[in-house]
Amino acid sequence: MITKEVIVNNPKGLHARPATLLVRKAASFKSDIGIEFMGKKANIKSLIGILSLGVGSNVAVNVIANGVDEKLALEEIVKLINSLEE
**Domain total of the chain:** 1
Residue range(s) defining the domain that contains residue 16: 2-83
8 Å CB contact between 74 and 2: yes
For residue 86, the model assigns a pLDDT of 62
Write out pLDDT tens, residues 18-75: 999 999 999 999 999 999 999 999 999 999 999 999 999 999 999 999 999 999 999 9
Catalytic center residues: 15
Domain CATH for 33: 3.30.1340.10
Round to whole Å and give the CA distance between 60 and 37: 7
8 Å CB contact between 3 and 64: yes
Write out pLDDT tens, residues 15-27: 999 999 999 999 9
pTM score: 0.93
